Structure 1
Amino acid sequence: MSYQVGQKLTGGVARLRETETTPPKRFTDGTLISAMTSIHRFVSNEADRKVLRDTKGIGTERTRDAIIETLKQRKYIVRGKGGYLEPTNLGIELIQRLPRELSDPVTTAKWEMALGLIEQGKMTRQQFDAMIRGNATKLVEALKGVKFDLDRMGIKAVEDKPRPEIDETLPGHGETCEKCRKGRMVGKRLPSGKKVVGCSNFPSCKHSKWID
């Protein structure tokens, strides 16, 4: 991206010169681990920076490698040219659509700090439980309104298929299953027009009879 910079010359005359910005380098496995350790450097809010410094970043020395591998396995990131990690459309869509709290490193950092307060006797288990439940409830409600671009995520939409209708008039409906002796036979009319009576204990019992 190009932009203009003002340059003051001798005699008080100003001149504009055009230059270009350079994007930051992508992470490698090693530099990403370093960034996770010093995640506070990427946060502008000073209070949040302090929280992240106190909790020593995202994850621990033992878990950071595993976190990156999980991101690769779930196809949120891939290794590109030169060993640099690149986000996939799936990963980008996920981060852009999810509530900010789920992608904000400060969220889990605050939970970690709360656990430390319990250890110090400054917070009770009941208070921590109430905090987590409140946060989880708020996130679940926020997720109900999230709509993902399935095409961008590489996921095929599942079309709603017509379901069979219960037909109590079919012979054998309501009778005890003669095979497992636990379930009841249920009469159903399929979208195709076929009729069947099957055990309610499915899939443990797959006994069924087609009705002519």
Structure 2
Amino acid sequence: MTNIHRFVTNEADRRILRDTKGIGTDRTRDAIIETLKARGYLKAVKGELHPTEAGIELIEKLPPELRDPVTTAKWEMALGLIAEGKMPPASFDDMIRKMCCALVEGMKSVKFDLSKMGAQQEVDAKPRSEIDHTLPGHGQPCPKCREGTMTGRRLASGKRLVSCSAYPACKHTSWID
């Protein structure tokens, strides 16, 4: 991730990746790799990382913007400019929101080969909670910190709750029923 510029052919993009010292930060790189390994997208073979069949399927189906390491580098550059006071946060927020909306629309028609994506869950795999927009309080400002937004969740157990999006800074949760 630090030397990703070696795999980019466009010289301007290569320069961006060199200037930003790759993608991710020292703090996040190890965690990202471990998450990808835990989810079955990467495996370590003799000290080298290799994509799994699920990893290849995911990368092949993602939109070009999300496959391109330059996208992440540009985001990190923009965040650096915000930190230096050279870019208003609202500009970055607007750009990210527009891009995310376009990406979500584009992904609606994508069909994954679930057999490659590990659709057969392991017996001890923990099911994930699902976001439920219909729960009372979903989308409302957090009553505790007033910075986060409450997100409705329906757990695999059937229990329902709304919790603050500012987690872990704010751990406010309200159970429903």
Q: TM-score, normalised by structure 2?
A: 0.63
Aligned AA (2:25): T
What SS does the aligned partner of 1:153 have?
coil
Taking a change above 3 Å as real, the CA distance of residues 114 and 150 of structure 1, as seen in their structure-2 partners, is same
Q: Secondary structure at the match of 1:137?
A: helix
Describe the SS at the equivalent of 2:111. Answer: coil
Distance (whole Å) between structure 2 residues aligned to residue 123 and residue 83 of structure 1: 40
1:136 aligns with 2:100: yes
Q: Are 1:94 and 2:51 matched, yes or no?
A: no
CA deviations on 1:52-81 (whole Å, 9 max, x unpaired) are 11111021222222221111101111223x
Give the Cα–Cα distance (whole angstroms) in 2 for the partners of residues 86 and 129 of structure 1: 34
Which residue in 2 is equivalent to 1:54?
Answer: 19
Rounded Cα–Cα distance in structure 1 between residues aligned with 2:26 and 2:90: 30
Q: What residue is the counterpart of 2:5 in the other structure?
A: 40
**Greater Cα radius of gyration, structure 1 or 2:** 1
Q: Partner amino acid for 2:59?
A: I
Match for residue 72 of structure 1?
Answer: 37
Q: Secondary structure at the match of 1:37?
A: coil
CA distance in 2, matches of 1:125, 1:85: 36
Pair 1:123-2:94 in alignment? no
Q: Structure 1 residues 55, 149: closer, same or farther in 2, change over 3 A?
A: same
Match of 2:142 in 1: none
Following TM superposition, by how much is the alpha carbon of 1:40 offset from its aligned partner in structure 2, in angstroms?
0.9
Query: What's the secondary structure of 1:102's corresponding residue?
Result: helix
**In structure 2, how many angstroms separate the alpha carbons of the residues matched to 1:43 and 1:97?**
20
- DSSP 3-state at the match of 1:150: coil
* Residue identity opposite 1:52 in structure 2: L
Q: Distance in 2 between matches of 1:100 and 1:41?
A: 19
**Superposition pairs for residues 1-212 of structure 1, below 5 Å?**
36-80=1-45, 82-155=46-119
Distance 1:38 1:53 in 2: 8
Q: Report the CA distance between 1:86 and its aligned residue.
A: 2.5
The alpha carbon displacement at 1:88 in A equals 1.2
- What are structure 1's unaligned runs of at least 5 residues? 1-35, 157-201, 206-212
Structure number with greater CO (CA < 8 Å, separation at least 6) is: 2
Q: CA deviation at 1:126?
A: 1.6
Task: Quote the Cα distance in structure 2 between the aligned partners of 1:146 and 1:51.
Answer: 30
Query: How high is the sequence identity, in percent, across the aligned residues?
Result: 65
Q: SS of the counterpart of 2:50?
A: strand
Q: Deviations over 1:173-195 (max 9, x none)?
A: xxxxxxxxxxxxxxxxxxxxxxx
Q: How far did residue 109 of structure 1 move?
A: 0.8
Instruction: Give the TM-score taking structure 1 as reference length.
Output: 0.53
